[in-house]
Amino acid sequence: MKIPGPDHPIAIKPAPQRVRVIFNGEVVADTKRALLLQEAAYKPVFYIPREDAQMASFQRTAHSTVCPYKGDASYYTIKVGDRVAENAIWSYETPYSAVAEIAGHLAFYPDRVDAIEATPA
């Protein structure tokens, strides 16, 4: 486990926008409670509470990864109608304490969904 610091900063704050994720023409997540995680020089990522997502459209997969700063990530496939996006969602179910706020949240790969829309709340 690595601790975020000046050489690899991680900042988490409430997103000021309403965030919607669209897949196969349907809204699969819609929230005004997203978190915005900015890690080092990476693009910011919205983390959406599971309660604000259509979990019935997601299926957990066997895929997993490890981030030395955030912990073990599990993945989900989205299926809406006849369209499927493998491992399009990731989640840190028991993240390291430095990023504990993202527990219970989902993040979506922008290139595996139709859109991630952020509009004024």
Q: Spell out the domains of the chain, with CATH numbers in brackets.
A: 10-120 (2.170.150.40)
Name which of 89, 11, 96, 10 is nearest 50 in CA terms: 89
Which pTM does this prediction carry? 0.96
Q: Greatest CA span in the chain, whole angstroms?
A: 45
Tens of pLDDT, residues 85-108: 999 999 999 999 999 999 999 999
pLDDT tens track for 45-97: 999 999 999 999 999 999 999 999 999 999 999 999 999 999 999 999 999 99
